[in-house]
Amino acid sequence: MSNFDLSVHFFMQMAAILAACRVVGLIARYLGQPQVVGEMIAGVVLGPSVLGAFWPDAMAWLFPRQLVVDGHVVMAGGKAVPHPLMTVIYCVAQVGLASYMFLVGVEFRADLIRKRVRSAVSVSMAGILVPFALGVLIAYFLQGNARIFKPDVKLWENMLFLGASMSITAFPMLARIIYERGLSGTSLGVLALGAGSTDDVAAWCVLAVVLASFKSDVEIAALAIGGGVVYAVLMLTLGRRLLAVALPRMEHTPLLKSFPVPVMLTLLMLASWFTDSIGIYAVFGAFILGAAVPRGEFAVQMQKKLEPAVVNLLLPLFFVYSGLNTKISLVNTPALWGIAALLFAAAVFGKGVACYAAARANGEPQREAVAIGALMNARGLMELIILNIGRDFGIITDELFSMMVIMAVVTTLMATPIFELVYGRERDAHLIASGRRLEA
Amino acid sequence: MSNFDLSVHFFMQMAAILAACRVVGLIARYLGQPQVVGEMIAGVVLGPSVLGAFWPDAMAWLFPRQLVVDGHVVMAGGKAVPHPLMTVIYCVAQVGLASYMFLVGVEFRADLIRKRVRSAVSVSMAGILVPFALGVLIAYFLQGNARIFKPDVKLWENMLFLGASMSITAFPMLARIIYERGLSGTSLGVLALGAGSTDDVAAWCVLAVVLASFKSDVEIAALAIGGGVVYAVLMLTLGRRLLAVALPRMEHTPLLKSFPVPVMLTLLMLASWFTDSIGIYAVFGAFILGAAVPRGEFAVQMQKKLEPAVVNLLLPLFFVYSGLNTKISLVNTPALWGIAALLFAAAVFGKGVACYAAARANGEPQREAVAIGALMNARGLMELIILNIGRDFGIITDELFSMMVIMAVVTTLMATPIFELVYGRERDAHLIASGRRLEA
């Protein structure tokens, strides 16, 4: 297989991936679900859970896992060399993910938190602490179960990871629903965006600490934590100010007019490389870089110019890479299904119910509190990211990975119907669909 | 090296590639050259011709060529396994290239040819036939030179390939210069766009025939030529009509509102896979698909939504992949430099001078004729595409590849100064830089 032959097959894989995301996405949207639900499921459908279960030859042909030459699996250093196209899918998915998190950072509005500090802080604290505590507790009881955790990972590492992965919120989806319904200026909107974004930032910080703590070497852990803190602080102070001066100046210099987008993309690759290298993952660096972009017209332009290709061309590869590693048939004993149910219940109670209760305790009306609970409870893409990190780092087994993917998909599926139950179906479908609200 | 480790290095490669394109691009623009010149040169700079010549360790570290595990080169089927990241760069470059050619097709305006048929046809015929004849002639004389052509390729194949690769025109660059100068409605603009686009279509058809003819099997060649013709005809008749009905209908259905971009991307991947598979290369399929997109608001939107990421994120990888294969130091004897000079002279005479003469013969004023000659003479990115195809197919040696890259870069470098000599420097730099002209 020359690189040319591989690229031909890659076009085929891309076509299959994009088509699956569209078809399943269409069904999801028809059922009133957001596109992201469709793409999460499309990834699972193309993987061993569906395509591989019903038509294993097709999956093996479309997504070969190992490099085979003349009928022999190519070995190196005692291990099978992964098929180069799996590397291609992985690398493109990582670039897509980093670009997406960058755009999430660009959309992030710190000012919304300030507006309703008290409720937002309570809801987000509840949404972090309760699921984190439940995750820690469950990890403690599951420790020693070889089908859940890798035997060479320590108890406290498992506790931290499961805790962090329970407290994730699908902030981009929450924000999209709020914007699409034209609720961003309302009491509910401000509270949801404020709590959701605080929560997301906090969860990513926890994850960064968790990842750093996995480094066996104290120096490496210090580099990760210290480097991450220094990176975030520098980027959000000096970096933000530099960008606020440099970007408008570029726009007003004829020679540099077209520079903002490519310069930001270059910085994005550098930030991703840097945060990956020090051990706190590219998504973190990309998000912080996005948050440092000056708000206003510039952020809107960035979004408009990059989002279509990132969301429609690159990001689907992440869903599929994740789906290729999701094998629901691994959850094959009553005990494992019991654990899956326990994780799911803890996730819903810890996040959805806790956020609802916190909102009520702060005097929010019933309707708002239920809506907040439903939105905060959705794990979406963000959960897939942390799960894949856990899998990449060799922390969790494929069984736990698959259970948590089920939890992520179901909590995401629940969000819109519950939200609609209290807030009603989209009333002005045409206006919303025309996208004008998104730009408002 | 796990896929995670590889992705970290890939971020680093992307950062280096994007930064190099920006820095060299800035120098190029400062010298009055278009961005594409900078990116062509940036690719060569990161490759063995510059970085590899002065700092070979840095190049070997940044762009490893072979998979090495525990100090051993991994072998499979008697050959070294290429480094997975070279496959990643190649595959992403191909997707970028296909997307770019799709956008070139979207911008393609057949109506401009009709407006000034006679001059446009003469100029484009001259711009195809003369360089093609010269290419054929040179190939005939160079046949048997093992440093120019691969020994196992037949004479007529070499003649066809060199002929086709001489007659390429950098249509996207020509179009950009015309639009940027606000000349698209002028006599010169219509003529240049008409001749340039005819020329480009004709050259791609010649290339398709050449590639098809390389198939040793008659059935395979028939599949390539027949399949290519059927694809083009179906796409430009039935396909165009289907898209003209389906796309606006999607836009007016709330559920499908966001579908046009992802649906077109899916079709793009399918078209690329199909035309690659039948043997006429993805760029051809992508261009035709773009030409079938309904003109007007829809085409403008497509361009706006996809161009920033395609041009600034994906396409630079193609320049670098091409540059990594360009080794100017291979042109190391007076005889080889003589051949390089001959190729360059034939390229300029065959294309630039011939188009100038054809324009003059059709009664165009001196100024217009010189400008047309200079614009048609630039080979730009298009030449790199055909050269890489020739290299992928094992037709040309690395020596001839490098000579032709020099020819492509120099003819592209010549275009703007000559154009400015007759048309003057940009008078309204601010207006042009603001991009308003591009949208007009």
pLDDT in tens, B402-416: 999 999 999 999 998
Interchain CB distance below 8 Å, A11 and B305: no
pLDDT at res. A217: 66
Residue of B259, B273, B434 lying closest to A15 (CB–CB): B273
With 90 as the cut, is the pLDDT of residue B134 above it? yes
**Cα separation, A112 vs A90, whole angstroms:** 35
Domain check: are B19 and B164 in the same one? no
A417 forms beta bridges with none
Q: Is the model more confident about B171 or about A180?
A: B171
pLDDT tens sequence across A292-329: 999 888 889 999 999 999 999 999 999 999 899 888 88
B78 φψ region: left (φ > 0), alpha (ψ -120 to 50), beta (else): left
Instruction: Show residues of chain A in contact with B10, CB under 8 Å.
Output: 91, 94-95
CB B368 within 8 A of CB B188: yes
Confidence of residue A113 (pLDDT cuts 50, 70, 90): low
- Best-predicted range by mean pLDDT (A163-177, A202-216, A387-401, B195-209): A387-401
Domain check: are A164 and A65 in the same one? no
Mutate to test the interface with B, among A1, A2, A3, A325 (most CBs of B within 10 A): A3
Interchain CB distance below 8 Å, B392 and A4: yes
Residue of A77, A310, A433 lying closest to B257 (CB–CB): A433
Q: How many domains does chain A have?
A: 2
Instruction: Show residues of chain A in contact with B429, CB under 8 Å.
Output: 254
**Cα separation, A195 vs B436, whole angstroms:** 41
Q: Cβ contacts of residue A41 below 8 Å, gap of 6+?
A: A24, A28, A409
**Cα separation, A98 vs B7, whole angstroms:** 11
Q: What would the two tokens of residue B355 be?
A: 């188009």
Residue of A76, A86, A255 lying closest to B74 (CB–CB): A76
Interchain CB distance below 8 Å, B257 and A435: yes
Q: Is this prediction's pTM over 0.90?
A: no
Domain check: are A75 and A93 in the same one? no
Instruction: Give the domain range for residue A408.
Output: 88-439
Residue of B19, B82, B259 lying closest to A3 (CB–CB): B82
Instruction: Show residues of chain A in contact with B265, CB under 8 Å.
Output: 18, 312-313
Q: What is the CA radius of gyration of chain A?
A: 22
H or E element that contains B69: strand B68-69
For residue A262, the chain B residue with the least C-alpha distance is: B312
Residue of B11, B81, B91 lying closest to A81 (CB–CB): B81
For all residues of chain A together, what is the average pLDDT? 86
Mutate to test the interface with B, among A1, A11, A27, A250 (most CBs of B within 10 A): A11
Mutate to test the interface with A, among B29, B91, B305 (most CBs of A within 10 A): B91
Q: Is A74 helix (H, G, I), strand (E, B) or coil?
A: coil
Interchain CB distance below 8 Å, A273 and B69: no
pLDDT at res. A77: 78
H or E element that contains A407: helix A398-423
Query: In this complex, how many residue pairs, one in chain A and one in chain B, have their CB atoms less than 8 Å apart?
Result: 205
With 60 as the cut, is the pLDDT of residue A28 above it? yes
With 50 as the cut, is the pLDDT of residue B432 above it? no
CB B108 within 8 A of CB A101: no
- Mark out the alpha helices in A31-147 (DSSP H runs): 35-46, 51-54, 56-62, 84-107, 110-115, 117-142
Q: Write down which residue in A36, A67, A87 finishes a domain.
A: A87
Domain check: are B315 and B221 in the same one? yes
For all residues of chain B together, what is the average pLDDT? 86
Residue of B8, B11, B273 lying closest to A11 (CB–CB): B273
pLDDT at res. B436: 32
Residue of B67, B312, B429 lying closest to A76 (CB–CB): B67
Q: Is the model more confident about B440 or about A315?
A: A315
Residue of A21, A272, A429 lying closest to B11 (CB–CB): A272
Mutate to test the interface with A, among B36, B102, B312 (most CBs of A within 10 A): B312
Q: Tell me the mean pLDDT in the region A376-394.
A: 87
Confidence of residue B148 (pLDDT cuts 50, 70, 90): confident
| Weakest-pLDDT range from A211-225, A339-353, B327-341 | A211-225
Nearest Cα residue to B359 out of B367, B350, B348, B369: B369
| Weakest-pLDDT range from A315-319, A342-346, A423-427, B8-12 | A423-427
Interchain CB distance below 8 Å, A261 and B312: yes
With 80 as the cut, is the pLDDT of residue A1 above it? no
Q: Tell me the mean pLDDT in the region A82-98.
A: 94
Mutate to test the interface with B, among A6, A7, A300, A322 (most CBs of B within 10 A): A7
With 80 as the cut, is the pLDDT of residue A103 above it? yes
Confidence of residue B116 (pLDDT cuts 50, 70, 90): low
With 60 as the cut, is the pLDDT of residue B426 above it? no
Interchain CB distance below 8 Å, A4 and B74: no
Domain check: are A50 and A109 in the same one? no
**Buried b / exposed e across A296-318, counting CB within 10 Å, b at 16+?**
eebbebbbebbbbbbbbbbbbbb
With 50 as the cut, is the pLDDT of residue B437 above it? no
Domain check: are A48 and A139 in the same one? no
Instruction: Show residues of chain B in contact with A260, CB under 8 Å.
Output: none
For residue B90, the chain A residue with the least C-alpha distance is: A3
Domain check: are A425 and A355 in the same one? yes
Task: Give this complex's ipTM.
Answer: 0.88
pLDDT at res. A9: 96
Tell me the residue ranges of DSSP E strands in B249-295.
none
Could you tell me whether strands A72-73 and B72-73 are parallel, antiparallel, or unpaired per DSSP bridges? unpaired
| Weakest-pLDDT range from A137-151, A187-201, B364-378 | A187-201
Instruction: Show residues of chain B in contact with A7, CB under 8 Å.
Output: 90-91, 94, 276, 282
Q: Tell me the mean pLDDT in the region B329-336.
A: 90
**Cα separation, A285 vs B357, whole angstroms:** 57
Instruction: Show residues of chain B in contact with A272, CB under 8 Å.
Output: 11
Interchain CB distance below 8 Å, A429 and B254: yes
Q: What would the two tokens of residue B286 be?
A: 């992508």
Domain check: are A112 and A51 in the same one? no
pLDDT at res. B318: 92
Q: Is the model more confident about A181 or about B195?
A: B195
pLDDT at res. B382: 83
Residue of B11, B90, B265 lying closest to A273 (CB–CB): B11
Residue of A7, A262, A277 lying closest to B22 (CB–CB): A262
Residue of B7, B77, B85 lying closest to A70 (CB–CB): B77
**Cα separation, B287 vs B232, whole angstroms:** 10
Instruction: Show residues of chain A in contact with B26, CB under 8 Å.
Output: 255-256, 259
pLDDT at res. A112: 66
pLDDT tens sequence across A392-414: 888 889 999 999 999 999 999 99
pLDDT at res. A440: 27
pLDDT tens sequence across B237-273: 999 999 999 999 998 888 888 889 999 999 999 999 9
Q: What would the two tokens of residue B114 be?
A: 């009709």
Residue of A7, A69, A94 lying closest to B7 (CB–CB): A94
Nearest Cα residue to B185 out of B90, B116, B97, B248: B116
Q: Tell me the mean pLDDT in the region B322-351.
A: 92
For residue B286, the chain A residue with the least C-alpha distance is: A11
Which of the 8 DSSP states describes residue B255? G
Q: Tell me the mean pLDDT in the region A43-50.
A: 93
For residue B79, the chain A residue with the least C-alpha distance is: A69
**Buried b / exposed e across B226-262, counting CB within 10 Å, b at 16+?**
ebbeebbeebeeebbeebbeebeeebeeeebbbbbbb
pLDDT at res. B433: 39
Half-sphere exposure of A88 (CA within 13 A, CB side): 28
Q: Write down which residue in B87, B115, B146 finishes a domain.
A: B87
Nearest Cα residue to B175 out of B107, B106, B97, B103: B107
With 50 as the cut, is the pLDDT of residue B178 above it? yes
Interchain CB distance below 8 Å, B273 and A306: no
Interchain CB distance below 8 Å, B309 and A306: yes
Confidence of residue A168 (pLDDT cuts 50, 70, 90): confident
Q: Is the model more confident about B36 or about B44?
A: B44
pLDDT at res. A72: 83
pLDDT at res. B431: 38
Domain check: are A136 and A28 in the same one? no
CB B155 within 8 A of CB B140: yes
pLDDT at res. A54: 94
Instruction: Show residues of chain A in contact with B277, CB under 8 Å.
Output: 8
For residue A34, the chain B residue with the least C-alpha distance is: B255
For residue B432, the chain A residue with the least C-alpha distance is: A254
Interchain CB distance below 8 Å, B305 and A306: no
With 50 as the cut, is the pLDDT of residue B429 above it? no
Mutate to test the interface with A, among B1, B4, B11, B101 (most CBs of A within 10 A): B11
Interchain CB distance below 8 Å, A82 and B263: no
With 60 as the cut, is the pLDDT of residue B23 above it? yes
pLDDT at res. A94: 94
pLDDT at res. B430: 37
Give the CATH number, domain containing residue A301.
Answer: 1.20.1530.20
Q: Write down which residue in B87, B119, B154 finishes a domain.
A: B87
Q: Is B68 helix (H, G, I), strand (E, B) or coil?
A: strand
With 60 as the cut, is the pLDDT of residue B1 above it? yes
With 90 as the cut, is the pLDDT of residue A238 above it? yes
Instruction: Show residues of chain A in contact with B298, CB under 8 Å.
Output: none
Domain check: are B348 and B411 in the same one? yes
Half-sphere exposure of B367 (CA within 13 A, CB side): 8
Domain check: are A73 and A93 in the same one? no
pLDDT tens sequence across B194-236: 788 777 777 777 777 777 776 666 777 778 778 888 998 999 9
Mutate to test the interface with A, among B75, B87, B99 (most CBs of A within 10 A): B87
pLDDT at res. A434: 35
Confidence of residue B434 (pLDDT cuts 50, 70, 90): very low
Domain check: are A142 and A178 in the same one? yes
For residue B316, the chain A residue with the least C-alpha distance is: A262
pLDDT at res. B71: 81
DSSP-assigned letters across all residues of A282-346: HHHHHHHHHHHS--THHHHHHHHHHHHHIIIIIHHHHHHHHHHT--GGG--SHHHHHHHHHHHHH
| Weakest-pLDDT range from A32-46, A173-187, B116-130 | A173-187
